[in-house]
Structure 1
């Protein structure tokens, strides 16, 4: 099967590498960064800089870019992938976006004679590298059947939410409410402990062994303890994703006060110049308010 992955970022690279390992796959990866393409080529894939340079007759394309606008450009823009796809190819879009954007992209794909799967993912860079992502998918039976070999190669579980495009994206937006709030409250707890005189490493060890822990606390607070701002997932991602939560909530007249507060904390960190840093460093918003000294500083 001729497969392409557009976007070899923290999750896209992991997905692409697992596809290379899957039997019967000829995999091309698209990314503008030369070093990233070289890394992928060294692993056995084919790297291209533009979606328009993907192999002709590509049968499935997995899109792992930041948002709906990037996905649309990568697929249907002047240098997009659509002309390189085989008739009836399946387009699998795993970018986080508003449900209405997923429906619009699906309609455009179907008008071009392609199948479409709305398939956001979770699991982060580590899960992607391990082929252990969780997929929240919706699409027609034909689209899901054609996408199955690709999704099985990159995930531990594929949840099928129905045939209508947008259901997968709705589930991802709801999921991101939890992810964003959990990161923000993990940072709040760590910041409060530091301000109150607790040793941050000891705080971390106690919380992770007790009932107040969360996956996000366990996963993100080590970045703060190490002073490592390298963005495995950036503050800017949750500015976007929690914004999508607010948009969805307003569209169904539903209050989300905790998500709104967490969103403002990420916006605050971004306003302070930390948007490109690891999302754990939303803790900088608390640092600005309280003057705390973070681990590895001073």
Structure 2
């Protein structure tokens, strides 16, 4: 197929590579990220031109305003749409805004799916992403060859646009609270005089075991906070969770606490660009103890 792919960042670039490898022809427009040297793609002048050249248009962008600009701004995707085209937004953005974007694009006769992903850069490179989709079944089935090229766990959450984004927010709540729990546990054990690496190894064999304990627990102990998933992006996702919760009348007290800890980390120099596992540093400051400190 002829596929437009807008957003060749940390996640988008390897995803586009997989689509090229599957035999698809890729059209893109350059913005913040340059065209990777080994990516075979045709660069055009605007998102509208991407839409005109493509059967399916995929967006993988940082935040809601970025998606709005690309879809609905001047020379945006909307201007190049026709009734036979399908837009798939794989960004993590507001469910409320997603429904509004979908309605406007559907007025042009195009289809629309929201299909945010989980799995990070590792999952994007390995084509093992979890993909959470909102939209009509017929459009989901049309997009399945693309989804199967990019991921392994692919679920149609609901037939209404915004369902995929809602699921992604739920995912980010769970991940954030797991990171916070692991950080609390390791700081507690370390300040009590235990080796946090041995505590982590012991917990990996019990009911407390998790992917977060395995991967991010090791990052916390080794102090390796180079970003796999940047703090500012997870903070953005928790902001979306809290905004949506207010609209729904839902209480998310622990999500609010995790968001505040992330805000504290982001306020430090370089903190917003560090990995979200660096949330442990906020708890270390509150406890007056760092995991890297030698025990007395």
**What secondary structure is seen at the aligned counterpart in 1 of 2:148?**
helix
Instruction: Tell me the TM-score normalized by structure 2.
Output: 0.89
Deviation at 1:141, TM superposition (A): 3.2
Deviation at 1:244, TM superposition (A): 1.8
**What secondary structure is seen at the aligned counterpart in 1 of 2:112?**
strand
1:81-137 Cα offsets, whole Å, 9 max, x none, are: 344456421111122222211100101111222110011111111111111111111
Going from structure 1 to structure 2, the CA distance change for 1:223 and 1:4 (only over 3 Å counts) comes to farther
For 1:236-275, list aligned pairs within 5 A.
236-273=232-269, 274-275=271-272
Going from structure 1 to structure 2, the CA distance change for 1:208 and 1:48 (only over 3 Å counts) comes to farther
Single out whichever of 210-219 and 221-230 deviates more from structure 2: 221-230
Going from structure 1 to structure 2, the CA distance change for 1:198 and 1:49 (only over 3 Å counts) comes to farther
RMSD over aligned Cα atoms: 2.4
2:21 corresponds to: 21
For residues 58 and 269 of structure 1, the distance between their equivalents in structure 2, rounded to whole angstroms, comes to: 41
For residues 284 and 101 of structure 1, the distance between their equivalents in structure 2, rounded to whole angstroms, comes to: 33
Check whether the contact 1:59–1:86 (CA below 8 A) recurs between aligned residues: no
Is 1:127 aligned with 2:126? no
1:288 corresponds to: 285
1:37 corresponds to: 35
For residues 192 and 64 of structure 2, the distance between their equivalents in structure 1, rounded to whole angstroms, comes to: 43
Deviation at 1:252, TM superposition (A): 2.5
1:48-103 Cα offsets, whole Å, 9 max, x none, are: 68535637421112111112111111222224334445642111112222221110
Unaligned regions of 5+ residues in structure 2, if any? none
- 1:195 equivalent among 191, 197, 222: 191
1:176 corresponds to: 172
For residues 6 and 188 of structure 2, the distance between their equivalents in structure 1, rounded to whole angstroms, comes to: 41
Check whether the contact 1:227–1:296 (CA below 8 A) recurs between aligned residues: no
Instruction: Tell me the TM-score normalized by structure 1.
Output: 0.89
Deviation at 1:183, TM superposition (A): 1.3
Going from structure 1 to structure 2, the CA distance change for 1:227 and 1:52 (only over 3 Å counts) comes to farther
Single out whichever of 48-57 and 64-73 deviates more from structure 2: 48-57
For residues 78 and 105 of structure 2, the distance between their equivalents in structure 1, rounded to whole angstroms, comes to: 9
For residues 230 and 28 of structure 1, the distance between their equivalents in structure 2, rounded to whole angstroms, comes to: 31
For residues 197 and 28 of structure 2, the distance between their equivalents in structure 1, rounded to whole angstroms, comes to: 40
Single out whichever of 157-166 and 44-53 deviates more from structure 2: 44-53
Unaligned regions of 5+ residues in structure 1, if any? none
For residues 238 and 282 of structure 1, the distance between their equivalents in structure 2, rounded to whole angstroms, comes to: 11
Query: In the comparison of the two structures, how many residue pairs are matched?
Result: 293
